[in-house]
A and B are shown apart, each in its own frame.
Chain A
Amino acid sequence: KQEVTQIPAALSVPEGENLVLNCSFTDSAIYNLQWFRQDPGKGLTSLLLIQSSQREQTSGRLNASLDKSSGRSTLYIAASQPGDSATYLCARMGGRRALTFGSGTRLQVQP
């Protein structure tokens, strides 16, 4: 069974801190690994997509890395802001091009 695990489940940090969210997956045969943001009661916002041939992607204060051999991805958020508070989901795209989602990390950035 393909599984995606995210650690920690919840995280609370003061504003300005740099933080790392972790994602691990059991099947390294992936097309890509994606990170999404989900605000309470809302849909998904795509943050970063790393193709299987890539090692990392950057967008603004966000940097995501991918290590297929170890089945791990990290999302690094620099200089966190209260507006970053949300649930962050990672998802792997496998052979059928469907996404398998992790359970998410609930981030709270305190002003």
Chain B
Amino acid sequence: GAVVSQHPSRVICKSGTSVKIECRSLDFQATTMFWYRQFPKQSLMLMATSNEGSKATYEQGVEKDKFLINHASLTLSTLTVTSAHPEDSSFYICSATGRLAKNIQYFGAGTRLSVL
């Protein structure tokens, strides 16, 4: 099956620093990538959708200037949490769909962000 690699798996950082999370599709071209967030004991919530070569579409309540998403190639999307604060501590997970199977999302393993 298709593989999506997400890195890093765990990040601990100080308040005010920026953190970049990478999401790569290893064996297919990801025309669309999704970024989800999961707070403790809650379900996954969609943050944004990004299509290769175009600006990301953010969900209501998600600050686009704080969560910068770049999808510059068909195999890589990045999420940068700028000036992270403790309330940004969460589990971030990406998924990707390809041209041939648009109705199937392949998930990365997730990144646990802890902001001190």
Give the interface of A toward B (CB within 8 A).
31-32, 41-44, 46, 49, 51, 89, 91, 93, 96-104
Extra A-B contacts (9), CB below 8 Å, given A99-B34, A103-B43, A104-B43: A42-B109, A44-B110, A91-B44, A97-B103, A98-B34, A99-B44, A101-B36, A101-B43, A102-B43
Residue B70, interface by CB 8 Å: no
What's the Cα separation between A100 and B107 when bound, in Å?
Answer: 14
In the complex, the answer to whether B42 meets A99 with C-beta atoms within 8 Å is no
Residue B49, interface by CB 8 Å: yes
**How many residues on the B side are at the interface (Cβ–Cβ under 8 A)?**
22
Given A43-B93, A97-B103, verify A103-B42 contact (CB < 8 Å). yes
**What residues on B are CB-neighbors of A96 within 8 Å?**
49
In the complex, the answer to whether A99 meets B103 with C-beta atoms within 8 Å is no
**A-B pairs with lowest CB-CB distance, top 9:** A43-B110, A43-B109, A101-B44, A101-B43, A103-B43, A31-B103, A44-B107, A98-B46, A32-B103
Secondary structure at the B interface, as helix, strand, loop or mixed, is: strand
**What residues on B are CB-neighbors of A46 within 8 Å?**
107
Residue B102, interface by CB 8 Å: yes
Provide 9 A-B residue pairs closer than 8 Å at the C-beta atoms, listed in order of the A residue. Answer: A41-B112, A42-B109, A43-B109, A44-B110, A89-B43, A97-B102, A98-B46, A100-B46, A101-B45
In the complex, the answer to whether B103 meets A89 with C-beta atoms within 8 Å is no
**What residues on B are CB-neighbors of A91 within 8 Å?**
44
For residue B65, give the distance in angstroms from its CB to the closest CB of chain A.
21
